[in-house]
Structures are given as structure tokens and as C-alpha cells.
Amino acid sequence: MSATVALLDELVGFDTTSSRSNLALVERVADRLDGAGARIRLSHDDERGKANILASFGPRAPGGIVLSGHTDVVPVDGQNWSSDPFRLTERDGKLYGRGAADMKGFVAACLAAADGFTSADLARPIHIALSYDEEIGCLGVPRLIDDLLAHEEKPDLAIVGEPTGMRLGDRHRGFLGFRTRFEGKAAHSSDPSAGASAIYPAADFIGFLKSIGHRAGAGIDRTTVNIGRIEGGSAINIVPSACEVLWEFRPVTAQDAEETELLIAAYLARAMPQEVRQSTQRRVHVPPLSPASNEQALVVAAGIGGIGPPLAMPFGTEAGFFQAAGISTAVCGPGSIAQAHQPDEWIERSQLDAADAFLARLTEWASRRQF
């Protein structure tokens, strides 16, 4: 069993579903990386039930590279697995387990490479950055980046190891999620005029969001809109006093995000009946990753084994946060996104081998005195 597969076996054994704490895994990983000689920093959430890990190798110097991944996984509830999802199982060269592809396979490869980072004469630092709660909106990564920039020299590059089959990814849409609450006045339905329905303006708002989505179109190069949940009312014979709508849109660029949010806010400001109040709360904001000409991270990743040409990804990642911090960023990692979140999630051994080779070449690159 290779070191990476053995580490993946261990990582899969931790149930780090986003609704649970990841601290048991964090403690184990931090101990291993500390033993490998890394500078270790943890940054916790407000409740101190979860933590990010930042492990830095090599000199405290500019020009470093970040290897970014996440420790949380999606639930297995309601899925029909043929084996224990939290025990790595191999069949026909495929390794099955929750998070095997998304994205504990990449994390395991980084941990396996850590001893090589230590023994190499690094000319520039390598940072392993593992965040919490990526699956529910990249909640941990802003704190991780702040901690990185506060305590280490600013890196030049970041590679996010989401599963791309080791293809290079240079763009994806962002994600903004909202909750809009409408509050009216309850009344007996025999006299609706005595109340103010919260559902009617909510329904109009949903129609407006639908019109925006229809106008924008679908696909990874278009801003899309989705209404995920509607909840309101209490009984068939009561005018509903409250209704909540959970909705999101996925912008292609930061400008798209700003323009769409302003458009929706303008509608809500003008369209509310006088007797109905509304409040809108932004719950999630994941910035898009935008392609840039001669992106340094793409050039470096291509030179150490990332497969081109760069592709547009249908899924979001934390890459946009690194790019927004002024760090050149690409996405490249082992496994297939088609396996992510699925029952019997798997990754091929060959993909882990490719990640191992990629990180070995990264170590050689980081040891050069010149780019």
C-alpha cells in the first residue's frame, strides 16, 4: 500500500460531514505535519468546533505556493452505499469512501509529500492549507487566508486540488446565496382584506427571479438563478403572515455579481406592498474564478504535470478567494468531479499516483533558485 493510499484510508475514517466537528482529523493531520517539520497554525471557527490547518515548509519568504484543500465532506444520509462510506474499500483499482475524490485524495497526497518538502532545499515556501466547511459555502477559507497573510510572506501562487482528473481549471462561476423573508398580517381567510398575505409578494419575487434566470440562460459561461426552498403559511384558512425564500445566483464575473445583486435589490425596494415588510440576508458568498492571460499558476501547474488546455469548471471552489487576495490561482487535482457527493464515491489509484508525481515535481520546482 502506498503512503498516499494509507493516508487516504485514515482520512476517510474520520466522519467530517460539514454538520460535524473536524477537530479529530485536524489534530491527527497537524501532528503528522508537525512531525514532518512544518510550521503549524490552526484557525478556529467562532464556536471553536472546527479549524483550518496551515502547514508551512521552507523559508519565510515571498514567492511561495499554496496547496489548498478542504477537510469536510457531504452527508451520506439517504444514499445507498455498497460498503461502509467511512472505511476505504478497494475494488478493481478503485478506492471507495466518502471524500475519496472530493477531496481527501488530494489531501492525502499532500500529506504523503510533506516529508519530501522537509528534506528538500526549498528556495521558496510550500504551504498546505486545509479549510473547514467548504461544502456549505467555503466558510473557513477566508479566515485561513487572513491567517496565512498575517503570519507568512504572501505567496505568489495557489493550486486548489479539487477533482479535475489532473486537468487544469482556470474559471468557474461564483455563488451567492440569500434568504428573503416576507412579513405580512394574519387574518381569517373568509376576509382576506383584513390581513396581508406574505406569500403573494413572495410568489411575485420568485417570478422575477425566474425571469432573470431565463434571460441569463444556462451553462457555465452564463449567470444562473435558482430558488431552492419556499416556506410560509400555517393553515389553509389563514392569510399567511410570513414566507421565506431561499435563493441563489451564480455569477460569471465579479461585475456580474454586483449588477445582479443591485438589480434584485431594486426590485425588492419598489415592488413590496405597503403592508408587507421584507428583509434579505446574504448567507453565502463564493467569488468566481476568472481566467487571466499568462496566469502564472497555470504555467507552473502545466510544467509539473497539469493537463491542458485549461477548462471551465461547472462547480465552485475556494480558488476565487485566493485570486481575490492577489494570489495567482489554478485548480488541478486527482479524481473525477462526477464522483463527488455520490453514493459509492471513488477515486482510481492511478489518479493518486498522478498526484504524487505532480507534487514530487512541485518540490523540484520550489527548490530551484530561479523560476
Question: Cell 426552498, residue?
Answer: 229
- Rounded to whole angstroms, how far apart are CA atoms 294 and 357? 24
Residue 2's pLDDT is what?
94
Q: Which cell goes with 9?
A: 484510508
* Three-state SS at 188: strand
Tell me the pTM: 0.91
For the domain 3-172+288-367, what is the CATH superfamily, name and number?
Zn peptidases (3.40.630.10)
Residue 52's pLDDT is what?
98
Q: Which cell goes with 344?
A: 459509492
Checking if the pLDDT of 149 tops 70, the result is yes
Average pLDDT, the chain: 95
- Rounded to whole angstroms, how far apart are CA atoms 170 and 294? 11
- Rounded to whole angstroms, how far apart are CA atoms 357 and 303? 12
Q: Of 9, 102, 133, 134, which residue is the catalytic one?
A: 134
The question of whether 135 is a catalytic residue gets the answer no
Fold of 175-286: Alpha-Beta Plaits (3.30.70)
Instruction: Kindly state the DSSP code that residue 103 receives in the 8-state scheme.
Output: I
Residue 161's pLDDT is what?
98
For residue 33, the Cα-to-chain-centroid distance in whole angstroms is 23
Neighbours of 45 (CB within 10 A): 16
Q: Of 72, 162, 170, 295, which residue is the catalytic one?
A: 72
Q: Are 11 and 99 in contact (CB under 8 A)?
A: yes
Q: Which value, to the nearest 10 degrees, does the dihedral of the CA atoms of residues 214, 217, 223, 224 take?
A: 60
pLDDT digits (tens, 9 = 90+) for 223-246: 899 999 999 999 999 999 999 999
pLDDT digits (tens, 9 = 90+) for 195-215: 999 999 999 999 999 998 866
pLDDT digits (tens, 9 = 90+) for 45-89: 999 999 999 999 999 999 999 999 999 999 999 999 999 999 999
Decide the pairing of beta strands 187-188 and 157-160: unpaired
pLDDT digits (tens, 9 = 90+) for 117-134: 999 999 999 999 999 999
Residue 369's pLDDT is what?
64
Instruction: Kindly state the DSSP code that residue 318 receives in the 8-state scheme.
Output: T
Q: Lowest-confidence range among 15-24, 26-35, 101-110, 307-316? A: 307-316
Average pLDDT rounded to a whole number, residues 149-157: 97
- Rounded to whole angstroms, how far apart are CA atoms 130 and 34? 14
82: β partners: none
The question of whether 72 is a catalytic residue gets the answer yes
Question: Cell 387574518, residue?
Answer: 187
Model confidence band, residue 218 (pLDDT cutoffs 50, 70, 90): low
Q: Which cell goes with 287?
A: 467569488
Average pLDDT rounded to a whole number, residues 299-306: 96
3-172+288-367 and 175-286: same fold?
A: no
3-state helix, strand, coil in the chain (%, to 5): 35, 25, 40
Residue 187's pLDDT is what?
97
What are the residue ranges spanned by the domains of the chain? Answer: 3-172+288-367, 175-286
Alpha helices by DSSP H, listed for the chain, are 3-12, 23-35, 105-119, 141-151, 199-216, 254-271, 296-303, 319-324, 349-367
Average pLDDT rounded to a whole number, residues 334-363: 97
Decide the pairing of beta strands 89-91 and 39-44: unpaired
- 306-318: string of b/e by CB count within 10 Å (b at 16+)? beeebbebebbbb
